[in-house]
Amino acid sequence: MNVKPRQNDNFKNFLPYLVLICVVLVVIFALNMQGTKVNELSTGELITELKEDNVTEITVTPKSDESIYYIEGKLEGYSSTEIFSAKAIGSEVDNILALIDANEVEEYDTNSDPGGSVFLYILVNVLPLVLLVVAMYFLFMKLASTNKNSMDFGRSKARLSNENDKKSFKDVAGLKEEKEEVEELIDFLKNPKKFEKMGARIPKGVLLVGPPGTGKTLLAKAIAGEANVPFFFISGSDFVELFVGVGASRVRDMFKEAKRNAPCLIFIDEIDAVGRQRGTGLGGGHDEREQTLNQLLTEMDGFGENEGIIIIAATNRPDVLDPALLRPGRFDRQVTVSLPDANEREAILKVHAKNKIINKDVNLNNLSLRTPGFSGADLENLLNEAALLAVRRNKNSITMDEIDEATDRVLLGPAKTTRKITDKEKKLVSIHEAGHAVIGLKLEDAQEVHKITIIPRGMAGGYTMMLPKEEKIAVHTKDELLAQITGLLGGRVSEEMFLQEISTGASDDIKRATRIARSMVTEYGMSELGPVQYEEKSEGVFLGRDYTKSKNFSDQVALEIDQQTRKIIEECYEKAKKIIKDNKDLIFKLSDALMEYETITKEQIESIVKTGKIKPVDDEAEEKEEKPKNKKAKLSDTEEK
């Protein structure tokens, strides 16, 4: 679509060029005037020249109010840039005019009196000044428009949410305990006298802590919507600027504006950008950020009172925040917004599925069980990817095919179906993934196998989707961790046992297995070294996450840690060898199925385990059709009776 520019914009764009042209013309005119040589002649000298017929060009300009005539012209022998100038008064003019007529000067002109024409006077004297003033005005206006915020850098960037963006607890699926924690804030904002009567002090600040995408910002919006109060929101990075003191000025201005609208809520997203610990890290502190933090601490709980203002902040790095920010009186309460469980995931999926056309065969309950570890943002992205795939495939609704593909895309990226894979590489990947799957099928504490594919996605040549049989919050037993290590090593064992070679495809599996084994030794106390924590993650505030680990042990203990880690890996490796050796036939059956179908699901895997082959689709369809027929036959028998 072509958009025509506005005439005002065209004029503003053309104005600088117009001013430049005028300046160039004035310069040229001035240079020409400076290059012209003017010879002053007296009246007698001019009359003598006229009598001798030396005048080749003459111009007479009268001045009526003083009866004075200005005369300019050229004499014989003058160059092109040389003229004469004379002034005649009274009767002298008549003599000069008579001589001009007698000599018949070829170029003779008598100008009118410029003082007698008002228009000419304005044109010559006033118009240039007006044009200069107008040009300067537009130039300054354009300069001011480009730097309109240059003098406004000390103002707060907190924005007031509009009515169209108002949320409520109905829009927040799950988070039952989190909602209960913040209901007091809503009650206080609605009825503060009830708390004042009891002598209770409502928390001045609430810190929402949790992984990205769990709904911290949405929960803050819902609090403001439920309380029906003004909601100011700002990011922590909006405070920090190049100049020291700007952030502190913005904090003061933000609280000043909030006091005018009290009672109200202020939401600071990613507060760790401005609230990091002071005076730590390499290279000293950051003066601007520290002054901004000092001002924020003073405003929240300093000498002044901020009644009716509640601060809600969100972060996924509470460990880097300054202790003064977390003390009672500032952020009195911390609410942990964790990843949703199966029931909460189902509720979140129902919320995001409202505006989408979902096929009847899609069971959101089953989908919630297949997505452990997904945040609310991940689930929303999953359904959105499924909707995009349905549109791309010209379908009328979102089916399980699109949801399965969307799940894989969210986890690993799009499938690389156009990549050419050799039969040898395909066989290696199928044997590798079959090894993972057999460990999951035969080891008691292993995770459940839901899907196997050898289609490349992202950096993976294939993968085996294994999900926990029962969803747990954060507690894992030693047997479960050993089963995870054994399952991770199953692919490498399968390659070595059946192909007599090993590949780089197991590098990530080995990395994850080693990390779990070392954590069992140094953090969880699950080795012969006893229940002692030897390593502790030290997440430097300015050095980055997991940059260093504090080591509270000697070199001798370090050797023992390495030996215990290697021992766990070797024992799991031997266990994987035994399981895969005992299930050699199942390995090849799964590998052959992957070579033929490339992707097999949980139902197809169970069919291979039970019957040795994948049940054809036609047989499944016939079974589904026979069930209603048998039901109908039983009903007819009942009717006969």
pLDDT at res. 284: 45
Q: Cβ-count burial of 431 within 10 angstroms (0-12 exposed, 13-18 middle, 19+ buried)?
A: buried
Q: Is 309 exposed, middle or buried (0-12, 13-18, 19+ CB in 10 A)?
A: buried
Amino acid at 516: I
Q: What is the percent of the chain with per-residue pLDDT over 70, rounded to a whole number?
A: 75
| Confidence band of 510 (pLDDT split at 50, 70, 90) | very high
Q: Is the pLDDT of residue 150 over 70?
A: no
Q: Is 606 a known active-site residue?
A: no
**Minimum mean pLDDT among 232-246, 262-276, 338-352: which range?**
232-246
CA proximity to 223, closest of 274, 173, 168, 273: 168
Of 134 and 511, the structure prediction assigns the larger pLDDT to 511
- Rounded Cα distance between 393 and 102, Å, is 102
Q: Is the pLDDT of residue 373 over 80?
A: yes
Band of the pLDDT at 27, cuts 50, 70, 90? Answer: low
- The pLDDT tens digits for 342-371 are 888 888 888 888 888 888 888 888 888 888
DSSP state of 111: P
Burial of 80 (0-12, 13-18, 19+ CB in 10 A): exposed
Q: Which residue has the higher pLDDT, 117 or 326?
A: 326
**Which tokens hold the place of 405?**
């593909």
Give 614 or 618, the one with higher predicted confidence: 614
Using 50, 70 and 90 to split pLDDT, how confident is the model at 541?
very low
Q: 160: which strand partners?
A: 232
Cα 202 from Cα 180, distance rounded (Å): 15
Joined tokens for residue 181 = 């924690």
Q: pLDDT tens-digit profile of 197-215? A: 877 777 788 888 888 888 8
Looking at every residue in the chain, the average pLDDT score rounds to 77
Which listed residue (178, 288, 385, 433) is catalytic?
Answer: 433
Question: CA 320, 323, 324, 330: dihedral to nearest 10 degrees?
Answer: 90
Q: Which residue has the tokens 């480009």?
A: 146
Query: Which residues lie below 8 Å from residue 552, measured CB to CB, with a gap of 6+?
Result: 534, 535, 536
Task: Decide if 320 contacts 276 (C-beta within 8 A).
Answer: yes
Question: pLDDT-derived band of residue 123, with 50, 70 and 90 as boundaries?
Answer: low
Task: Name which of 22-26, 77-81, 180-184, 261-265 the model is least confident about.
Answer: 22-26
User: How many C-beta atoms surround the C-beta of residue 336 within 10 A?
Assistant: 13
21-35, 293-307, 469-483, range with the lowest pLDDT: 21-35
Indicate the pLDDT class of residue 246, thresholds 50, 70 and 90: confident
pLDDT given for residue 546 in this prediction: 45
- b/e per residue, 16-55, with b = 16+ CB within 10 A? eeebeeeeeeeeeeeeeeeeeeeeebebeebbebbeeeeb
In the predicted model, is pLDDT for residue 621 greater than 70?
A: no
